[in-house]
Amino acid sequence: DKKVTINTLHKLRGQEKFVMVSLYDAPMAAMAQQCGIEAVLIGDSLGMTVLGYDSVIPVTMEQMIYHIEAVARGNQKSLIIGDLPFMTYATPEQALTNATRVMQAGAHMIKIEGGHWLVDTVKMLTDRGIPVCAHLGLTPQSVHKFGGFRVQGRDSEKAEQMVADAKALAAAGAALLVLECVPAALGKIITEAVDIPTIGIGAGTDTDAQVLVINDILGLTPQPPKFSKNFLLETGDIAGALKKYRDDVKAGTFPAPEHMFG
């Protein structure tokens, strides 16, 4: 049972879908390892899912580090990705300082939200040995710019901009790309336009991988997003739920049409 690395995920591209879960603590991280989840993300969604804020904006570096260390203690096998929270990567230098802390807490890669404006940051981090997962579409740190949690890239101008952003980030050295809440057709176009694995959440079935938040998988979210699914309901225990999620992604049966945006 080898450790999953970025090379593992690049080799899977085009061969087999891989699976990521956003989770925040050691026992869930251990469960994900046991269930063959290739990548775990310590998302800044923890501000909403475990800390009770109504957005991710209040999340601090200290909170991220605390949870990244816990996940890293619980999981010795999956690729571990840590989010940089709101306004901790506004300049490349600031990104370098904060990404260093996330890596030293136990992450193998950092994730940041944004398009063209991040090209220099992605290059700076990657050149210095910090792999970057980019994140486009509904980037929750920009919720107030979007005027709410809404699907992105619906009009053709915005869609074309997102494709150009994806290509620019990949060219700058991004190793993975998360696409959140975009029309399924756009998820497919972007996946075909870049040469790095794409990981969708509400981005249709054609991305190279899927990510869900553990709270949604386990039915802990009062008003779950359309793209998510409570896998605990049909399985009865947490390991069963994670395995069903993994198996359904691998088989191409999750997401189903009701989890996608047209």
When asked if residue 45 is in the footprint of ligand KIV (CB under 6 A), the reply is: yes
Q: Give me the residue whose beta carbon is nearest to ligand KIV.
A: 43
Closest separation in Å from C-beta 237 to Na ion: 27
**What number of other Cβ atoms are within 10 A of residue 92's Cβ?**
16
End-to-end CA, the chain: 39
**What number of other Cβ atoms are within 10 A of residue 47's Cβ?**
22
Place of tokens 């999953």: 4
The verdict on whether 180 is a catalytic residue reads yes
Q: Determine the size of the site formed for ligand KIV (CB under 6 A).
A: 11
> 127 vs 246, which CB is nearer to ligand KIV?
246
Closest separation in Å from C-beta 1 to ligand KIV: 26
Q: Which of the listed partners (ligand KIV, Na ion, none) does 211 bind, with a CB threshold of 5 to 8 Å by partner kind? A: ligand KIV
**What number of other Cβ atoms are within 10 A of residue 121's Cβ?**
25
Q: Are 203 and 181 in contact (CB under 8 A)?
A: yes
Binding span for ligand KIV by CB under 6 A among 42-50, 165-173, 216-224, 250-258? 42-50
CA atoms within 13 A on the CB side of 213: 20
> 84 vs 232, which CB is nearer to ligand KIV?
84
- Is-cis flag, bond preceding 255, omega within 30? yes
The single residue among 35, 43, 133, 165 that binds Na ion, judged by CB under 5 A, is: 43
When asked if residue 178 is in the footprint of ligand KIV (CB under 6 A), the reply is: yes
Q: Catalytic: which of 16, 157, 160, 180?
A: 180
Structure tokens at 123: 């290059």
When asked if residue 152 is in the footprint of ligand KIV (CB under 6 A), the reply is: no
- For residue 113, give the 3-state DSSP assignment: strand
When asked if residue 165 is in the footprint of Na ion (CB under 5 A), the reply is: no
Catalytic machinery residues:
180
